[in-house]
Amino acid sequence: MKTLSPLDDVPVFTTRIADFVNWSRKNSLWPLPFGTACCGIEFMAVVGSHYDVSRFGAEVVRFSPRQSDLLIVAGTITEKMAPVLKNIYEQMPDPKWVISMGVCASSGGFYRAYHTVQGIKSLIPVDVYVPGCPPAPESVISAIIKLQEKIFKGETPQQKLLERRRAAELSSRAANEA
Amino acid sequence: MEYLFQLEKQLKEMTSNDSSIAVSASKTNPNEVIITAPPSAVRTLAKILKEQKNYQWLMDIAGVHYPERELPLEVVYHFFNKDINRRVRLKVAHREGEKIPSLTPIYKAANWYEREAFDMMGILFEGHPDLTRILCHHQFVGHPLRKDYAATANQVLERPLEYQFPTAPKGSEIDDDPITNVKNTLNLGPSHPATHGTFRWFVELEGETITRARTEIGYLHRCFEKMAETHNYNQIIPYTDRLNYCSAPMNNDGFCRTVEKLFGIEVPPRAQYMRVVLNELSRIIDHLVCIGTTSVDMGALTTFWYCFRAREDTYTLFEELCGNRMLTSITRVGGMTGDLTDPWKKKCLAHVDFLQSTVDEVDALLSNNKIWRGRMRGTGVISKDMAIDYGFTGPCLRASGVELDLRRQEPYYDYQKFDFEVPTDNNGDNFARYSIRLREMRESCKIIRQALEKMPPGPTQVNNPLITLPPKKQVYSNIEALMNHFMLIIDGVKPPKGDIYSYTEAANGELGFYLVSDGTGKPHRLKVRPPCFAIYQSFEEVISGGLIADAVATLGQMNVIAGELDR
């Protein structure tokens, strides 16, 4: 956040509204764990007491896509599951982000097989990929931190899309008024 | 041998001297008898085996494709008799398109196994109530485990499956009248927290009571068996990790034991004891995950933290031993990847005490908890007969009052030398399954202590250049060892021609591997008999008539793991 140094005795600081919004977004991610396989179990370890993802403000795990803004695809996505994943993603409100956890979700992994989707990028856009089979919980936490950095800078495609929509709305309103 | 002749004679008498039925002994298992028969005799034989010879378990049905043979398709049935500890393997070779009589009227377990054989191999079963695809999606064309189906030929699904319950015939109890009918149908899953990610149920509800249920599986069908056919034996081990990913070392062990048995070798004593330690450690964490996740579903989040804490420490031990936390790949055909050290042993002993105290804590948190007891007692009741008919094994069977544990029934790896008990319970409800798991964890702690104490010295791999890699020092210093290493990596181990069904007691029950080898470095066919498959098959029947909230508890305590269910 681009803050001016707060005056010593006044609990006030100044910032830009966009920065403030991004700052709050980054620190209150509500993940939806789309856990299908081994990575899903490992994600439980990330949420569990030892690794404790709540230190990074992302512990409110929601299983309803309508209440979450971060989709963590943890596990192999099969052809049978693919339409379901797409559906879930479309039901999430904007802005939304995706972490592809593990090689199966990222590229199909070592399942070069007839019933395994070869990477979820053919279904939904992905913001951060996490390698590993399954990734160590530390890598997942690192991915969350990476995503937070991206969100704070407003760099993710989702945020840019929102900005463009906003700009278009403003300009059309201005045109109407003129 | 005597038993074999007796069985042969009896079968001949009962089938009026049918010359097409042949009985022979198994080369790999002294307790096993192999029968070959034509399709027309299948139902008669199954009836005789079940009703007169007391083969109450139908363990598995596997399809095998031999494109070069005159009769290219083969169905292989595995029957099991607990009282005399005998197994029968029935092989039925047949032509393309020929129909096999379904065994669903005799064994309930046959239902899903036959559907799977149809889905994977295109074997047709006559008289099956619902011969539809089970693992592949409903728009899939062709049968993927046929030899002419390419492993990489993906088929995209456009729309998910929708299911409607069939309308009931007039006069039956199920009311289909749109005016008086107060029933709702509900779809749960596959992405639903209570269905653990990949299971899908369609339920018909009257209020909160389930009147009819249908389960849909296959959302994690990632083609283990096809992958096994395209990889070397040692390359398959990482794939086996991902069957039951909550207790990976047990799958490694089950698979390697299968190949070793086909070779006719036994791993050195130290490797055996190492495997025992790892198996029991993973049995404990499997049970802990099962109880932990069920308690989350029931709203008891605290227990989950306790369970996962202990599991985390076990993973640290695994990591120290083999480099990976969860999916260990720690065995090789003919032994282990490495050896364990004395400091590790000490840590492990200390950890067992911690595990034991965790079990006590979980016990104290849940066993006398009023809500937990209310939710678990009397829900999801499975009777003894039903459990056997569906082919149950493992803790779920023992909770229904059958004392069957392969570690006791047919001890392997010196299990007969350890002092442990096989707990059973007669209630057959969720609470019984929960308490069986608790007691089993305590027994496992006992076994680990004994195994660590008695751990013999010596090598951890067999000394056979055709099976195990030479020591690295020799590879870098002489040409023979280098060539040996090269050939083993490129071609892999080559077990002799033949087929084998091998089984171990995994955390959920009998984990069986049916392996057909054609003498090359890759298996011709590898069929897994996952314990969950039989158990989850009963789910529709178990939850019907109960509350929908109880179905969640039942699923949790059945401990269905998608990885091994769908493979």
Three-state secondary structure readout of B376-431: HCCCCCCCHHHHHHCCCCCHHHHCCCCCCCHHHHCCCCCHHHCCCCCCCCCCCCHH
Nearest one of B434, B438, B436 to B294, comparing CA atoms: B434
Residue with tokens 């699904």: B157
Q: Taking 70 as the threshold, does the pLDDT of residue A113 lie above it?
A: yes
**Could you report the per-residue pLDDT of B88-127, keeping only the tens digit for each?**
999 999 888 888 999 898 998 899 999 999 999 889 998 8
- 8 Å CB contact between B256 and B332: yes
Using the Cβ of A13 and the Cβ atoms of chain B, whether some distance falls under 8 Å is answered with: no
Output the pLDDT for position B277: 92
Q: What is the pLDDT of residues B393-429, one digit of tens each?
A: 989 999 998 988 988 888 888 888 999 899 998 888 9
Closest CA to B82 of B508, B401, B381, B443: B401
Query: What is the per-residue pLDDT for B171?
Result: 57
**Distance between CA atoms of B130 and B219, rounded to whole angstroms?**
19
Size of interface A-B (CB pairs under 8 A): 131
pLDDT classification of A101: cutoffs 50, 70, 90: very high
If contacts are CB pairs under 8 Å, which of residues 42-71 in chain A contact chain B?
A: 42, 44-45, 48-50, 63
Q: What are phi and psi of B544, to 5 degrees?
A: -65, 130
- For residues B501 and B503, give the distance between their C-alpha atoms in angstroms, rounded to a whole number: 7
All residue ranges of chain B with pLDDT < 50 are none
Interface touch B157/A83, C-beta < 8 Å: yes
Three-point CA angle B237, B241, B244, nearest 5° = 140
Segment B348-375, tens digit of pLDDT: 999 999 999 999 999 999 998 898 998 8
Angle between helical axes of B248-263 and B269-297 (0-180°, round to 10): 140
Quick one: pLDDT at residue A7?
A: 58
Q: Which residues of B touch A117 (CB under 8 A)?
A: 154
- A9 lies within 8 A of chain B by CB: no
Contact A79 B190 (CB under 8 A): no
Question: Scanning every residue of chain A, which has its alpha carbon at the shortest distance from the alpha carbon of B311?
Answer: A45
**Among residues 311-340 of chain B, which lie with CB inside 8 Å of chain A?**
311-312, 315, 325-327
CB contact under 8 A, B191 and A34: yes
Would an 8 Å CB–CB cutoff place A162 in contact with chain B? no
What is the per-residue pLDDT for B180? 62
pTM value is 0.89
Residue with tokens 């803790």: B395
Considering chain A, what is the average pLDDT of its residues? 86
B193 vs A63, A113, A136: nearest CB: A63
Residue B409 has a CB neighbour count (10 Å cut-off) of 16
CA nearest neighbour of A62 among B550, B191, B562, B160 = B191
At position B345, the amino acid (one-letter code) is K
Is B526 touching A (CB cutoff 8 A)?
Answer: no
What residues of chain A lie within 8 A of the CB of B562, using their CB? 36-37
Name the pLDDT band for A45 (thresholds 50, 70, 90). confident
On whether the CB atoms of residues B78 and B501 are closer than 8 A, the answer is yes
The β-bridge partners of B212 are: B204
**Which residue in the block uniquely carries the two structure tokens 């069977």?**
B397
Who contacts B144 (Cβ-Cβ below 8 Å, separation ≥6)? Answer: A114, A115, B120, B136, B223, B226
d(CA B490, CA B488): 6
The closest of B17, B25, B23, B79 to B54, measured between CA atoms, is B79
How far apart, in whole angstroms, are the C-alpha atoms of residue B82 and residue B272? Answer: 25
List B76's β-bridge partners, or say none: B62, B91
Residues of B in contact with A40 (CB under 8 A): 197
Instruction: Please list every residue in chain B whose beta carbon sits closer than 8 Å to the beta carbon of residue A136.
Output: 325
Q: Are B510 and B406 in contact (CB under 8 A)?
A: yes
- Concatenating the DSSP letter of every residue in A82-132 gives HHHHHHHHHHSPSS-EEEEESHHHHH-TT--STTB-S-GGGTS--SEEE-S
Chain A positions in Cβ-Cβ contact with residue B251 (cut-off 8 Å): none
Q: How close does chain A come to B463, measured CA to CA in Å?
A: 31
- Amino acid (one-letter) located at B202: F
Hey, what amino acid is at B236? Answer: I
Tell me the β-bridge partners of B517. B498, B523
B162 interfaces chain A, CB cutoff of 8 Å:
no
**Cβ separation B136–A88 shorter than 8 A:** no
Residue B359, C-beta contacts closer than 8 angstroms, at least 6 positions apart: B284, B438, B441, B442, B445
pLDDT at B3: 75
Residues of B in contact with A116 (CB under 8 A): 154, 222-223
> Contact A39/B242 with Cβ under 8 angstroms?
no
